[in-house]
A and B are shown apart, each in its own frame.
Chain A
């Protein structure tokens, strides 16, 4: 069943889009930071470990 949001259609779908976009961005940033942290730890461990 496709819900008819009437005049609020754009606003509601835009809100869904922004929410999903933010969640994806959060996941990507977290993964990126994790990779950078792993790289830094590997470097430090090979140097001082």
Chain B
């Protein structure tokens, strides 16, 4: 599992970082559209620029006109979107819809992917579960669960807990040893001083 970017990924990260800091900055996008009470919630011109830079087709195969990259690369772009709080339909369009369409028939791919890659189309994703209840007024919401049983594998916890306990015991023992040393030295000094005074 590589924890570092290769050259292409580093280049993409630099491009995305500069672009998002310049064009996707909070003042230019988030506050701008919020203050205008924009119903879409994002700038279509920025989405078009996403298309020109190739971000929209990052997960679309090269045969379908995209860059044919992977989810690590999509994650790099999302990281910069998050860093700048840039409102954009990247996650639903370029990640979810692009992944779904990647498994679709040639007809569907030819119909929808060019618009996605060029930045002319935007996609929303609705799950079957949500669609079932939408008409009844029960809307699906995202929730964050901090339950360690479901979020983090138990194999992560035990080494972490044992390491923390080990370090804790080590430092407590170290503090006790050094305090004990200090007390002994102070007592020896006091005894010598008392002996000198007595003499």
| Residue positions of A touching B, CB distance < 8 A | 1, 3-8, 23, 26-27, 30-31, 33-34, 37-38, 40-41, 44-45, 47-49
Contact = CB atoms under 8 A, between A and B. Distances in A.
A48 B174 CA distance: 30
Contacts of B4: 5-8
Contacts of A37: 180-182, 184-185, 188
Interface stretch (B33-41, B76-84, B191-199): B191-199
Interface of B: 1-4, 170, 174, 177-178, 180-182, 184-185, 187-188, 191-192, 194-195
B163 to A, nearest CB: 12
A8 B4 CA distance: 9
Contact of A48 (B3, B181, B182, B192): B192
A3 B3 contact: yes
Contact of A3 (B1, B188, B195): B1
Q: Which 5 A-B pairs have the closest CB atoms?
A: A37-B184, A48-B195, A44-B188, A41-B184, A34-B181
Contact of B192 (A27, A33, A44): A44
A45 B191 contact: yes
A35 to B, nearest CB: 9
A27 B180 CA distance: 14
